[in-house]
Amino acid sequence: MTNEREPGGAEAVRVAFQGELGAYSDEAVRQYFGGAAEPVACRDFDGVGVRTMAGEVDYGLLPIENSLAGSVVASYDVLAATGLHVVGEIISPIHHCVLAIPGAPADAVARVLSHPVALAQCRRWLAAHPRVEAVSWYDTAGAAKEVAARGDPSTAAIAGRLAAERYGLAILDQHVEDRPDNQTRFLVIARPDSPLPRPAADTSAGMKTSLLAETANVPGALLGLLQPFAARGVNLTKLESRPAGQPWSYRFFLELEGAADASPVRGALADARAHATSLRVLGSYPRWPA
C-alpha cells in the first residue's frame, strides 16, 4: 500500500469500530480521521474484521491496549484470523464518567454497567462504592444507551462525555479512572489493497512495524526469534502471546520501531524468519506522537 487517502474529499471515509456510537472507539475514529470519518458501529471485534475484510468499510479501528488494564486480546485474535494489515495507530486519552438518567440522585445508584476493560480502569471508584454492583456490558456507549432506555435511576453506566451527550444522560461523577493519564492505543486496519490513510494529526514521530509469528515448541525457539532484533539494535516495543491452532501452542504479536523495508529492520526480519515456523509482517505505519 503506497498511495495515501486524504481525510477530506467528496466521499466520507467509512471506519468500522466495536461498540455503539458515542463509544471511545467512535471518538478515536474522529480523532484520527477528522471530519472525513463516517464511524460504522459493530457489535463485536470480529464484526470489525469481517466488515473491513469484505470491503463494506474503508478501514477498521481496534483497541489494542490500555495503559491501566493492559492488552485487549480480542483485537489480536482478529488480526491473526484475517489477512488485514495494520496501517496506523492512535493513542487516545480516556476519561470515564458515571452516567445516569437526568434527575437521578447519586446515592440511588445500585449497579453500574460498562465494558469489562473500562471497569478494570475504575477499580478505585468501585472500591469506594462497595454497594454498587459492577455489571459487564459489551460496550461503554452501549451501556449508556441501555441506561437511557431503562429509565431506572438505580442503574448507571461508566462511559465518556460523548456517550452522555448522545444518549441524554446526566454526569454524576467524572474522571473516575484510576489514573488521570489513562490512555488507550488503537490500531487502524485495512485490506491489503487499500490506500494508506492520512491521519488528521501530525504523525512525524517515525515508523513502527507489527508482526505475527509462530515458532516450534522447542527450547530456545522464542529466544532465536527475538535475538536478531537485539543483535541489530532494533527496539521491540510490544510482545504478546495468544493461543494458536493446536492446544498449548502459541503465536506471538510483536511491535518494533522502524519500517520493515528499512535497514537494520530488514536484516533482523530475514534472520528471525530462520527461527520461525511462520512470520507475517502485518504492516508498517507512522508512530503516534507521545
Which are the catalytic amino acids? 184, 186
For Cα atoms 15, 281, 93, give the angle at the middle one, nearest 5 degrees: 45
For 173, other C-beta atoms within 10 Å of its C-beta total: 17
Coil vs helix vs strand at 5? strand
Dihedral sign of CA atoms 174, 114, 63, 197 in order: negative
Q: Taking the CA of residue 257 as centre, how many other CA atoms within 13 Å lie in the half-sphere pointing to its CB?
A: 11
Q: Is the peptide bond before 130 cis (omega within 30 degrees of 0)?
A: no
Closest by CA to 158, choosing from 105, 122, 207, is 122
Judge contact between 201 and 92, C-beta under 8 A.
Answer: no
Burial 182-202 (b: 16+ CB within 10 A, else e): bebbbbbbbbeebebbbbbee
User: How far out from the chain centre does Cα 140 lie?
Assistant: 14
Q: C-alpha grid cell for residue 118?
A: 473500562
